[in-house]
Amino acid sequence: MSTPTPARGRQITPEPRTPGTITTQIDSIGILGYESVSEQDCLTPTEIFKGTAMVLNGSIAPWQREAAPRDLDVRLVALEPGVVKMQMGTNVVPDGVLSEDDLFDIFYIPGGVGSAALLSDERVLKAIRRHHEAGKVIAANCSGVGALARSGIVNDETLTSVAAIARGMRGEGFDVPENRRMWVAHPASRIWTFTGSYGINGGAVALVAHYFGREVGTIVSMMFDTYGGIGDAIFEEVGPEFYHHPELEEAFQNLFEPMLYPAKTDDAL
């Protein structure tokens, strides 16, 4: 059996910066919960961000940090009151309900089989636009990237996503290279996108390292074993390159694209 090689194509050039430096003050993170959101897509970043809050406030301190303790408000916010029933049947009690007045410094949209409904849910699309217009960071993973794309905040930024919706997004003119990356960040335009479940841990830790600095990024990456897996890649704005399996990807796109990223209706064109 031959060993697959990473696909080649348009190269993604990271925006220049000093690795691990703090570029924006982040005091709050909101992760969106919704019917049939993926457990991994939603709970993995929630745990990583809540772990980051514990590092920042000193609850987790493998060594004495010079920075003074501070608070980070991390909340899982639902679209409706009550529990969030995730795609595999897990019921989760959110921290609150997303309101029209909420503004988080980072607004995060996870993927899942319920994500297609987000593409036509004006509450979600308006929330994405409201946050971005207010200068906040928008991040999304897996099929949640579809809502970010359809919200209208993307210009010519390169994106990444789960393979299942990549073809559909390309068909609408979005720049999703075949050589997908684990994450792709555009700090200047405040857009971060991650691949499917495998890339979410690395992408979330890279986001933490970027906005909270190298020391916090190192501690969090050790807490969640990310450093042992991908090393200093967490301090880059473009994640490791994925292998490309064209025939397999096409089969999964044929199966899941109508479910996760259905074509726009005539009213939405």
- Domain-located, residue 263: no
Instruction: Calculate the CA dihedral of residues 113, 258, 194, 187 and round it to 10 degrees.
Output: -120
- Domain-located, residue 54: yes
How far is the first Cα of the chain from the last one, in angstroms, to the nearest whole number?
45
- Domain-located, residue 3: no
Q: What percent of the chain has pLDDT over 70?
A: 90
Residues 210-234 pLDDT 10s: 999 999 999 999 999 999 999 999 9
Q: In what order do the strands lie in the sheet with 183-186?
A: 96-97, 73-78, 28-33, 106-109, 137-141, 191-194, 183-186
- Domain-located, residue 121: yes
Residues 66-80 pLDDT 10s: 999 999 999 999 999
- Domain-located, residue 6: no
In this prediction, residue 266 carries a pLDDT of 57
In this prediction, residues 133-139 reach a mean pLDDT of 98
* Number of domains forming the structure of the chain: 1
Dig out the tokens for 82 from the structure: 């009550």
**CATH number for position 73:** 3.40.50.880
Domain of 82 in residue numbering reads as 28-242
- pTM more than 0.85: yes
- Domain-located, residue 251: no
- Domain-located, residue 18: no
Dig out the tokens for 268 from the structure: 């939405």
Q: Say how far apart CA 35 and CA 83 lie, in whole Å.
A: 9
Residues 251-262 pLDDT 10s: 999 999 999 999
